């Protein structure tokens, strides 16, 4: 893979994994519960 493709992929993957992980971590550590829980 070329350097530019690798760099581009790394940046976008980082953004997506960071936000997905951040949201899930916040959700799973929250003590809020839904009605049905």
Partner 1 sequence: MSQKEAWGSRIGLVLAMAGNAVGLGNFLRFPAQAAKNGGGAFLIPYLVALVVLGLPLIWVEWGMGRFGGQQGHHSSPGIFQTHSRNGFWKYFGVMGLWSCVVVAAFYLYIESWCLAYAVYSVIGGFKGKTPDDVGAFFGQLTGESDFQLFAVSGWGMLIFAICIAMNVYILSRGLAKGIELVSKIGMPLLIIFAAILAVRGMMISPESDPAAKQSALDGLNFIWEPRLTSLKDPAVWLAAAGQIFFTLSIGMGTIHCYASYLRDKDDVALTGATAAWTNEFCEVILGGSILIPIAVAYLGLPEVVNKTAGGSGFSLGFFVFPTLFNNWGAFAPIAGLLWFGLLFFAAITSSLAMGQPVMAFMQQEYGQSRGRSAVTFGAMLLPLALPVALFHSSVFFDEFDYWAGTVMLVVFALGEAILFGWSFGMDRGWAEMTKGAELAIPKVFRFIIKFVTPVFLIAILLASGGDMIAKLLHKDVADTKQKKLADFDQQVADLKLSAEDRETKLKKLDADLESLASDTSKAGFEREAARLKQQDYRAKVASAGELVDSKRDAEISKLQTSRVAAEKFYDALPMWRNIDRLLMVGVYVFFCVLVKRAWSKRQAEGSV
**DSSP per-residue letters across the chain:** --HHHHHHHHHHHHHHHHHHHHHHHHHHH-----TT-
CA distances from residue 33 to 21, 24, 27 in whole angstroms, order as listed: 20, 15, 10
Nearest distance in Å: CB 7, partner 1? 9
14 binds partner 1 (CB under 8 A): no
Nearest distance in Å: CB 31, partner 1? 10
Q: Which residues bind partner 1 (CB under 8 A)?
A: 1-2, 4-6, 8-9, 12-13, 15-17, 19-20, 23-24, 26-28, 30, 32-37
């Amino acid at each position: 893979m070329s350097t530019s493709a690798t760099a581009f992929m790394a940046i976008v993957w980082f953004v997506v994994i960071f936000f997905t992980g951040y949201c899930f971590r916040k959700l799973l550590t929250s003590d809020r519960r839904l009605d049905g829980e």
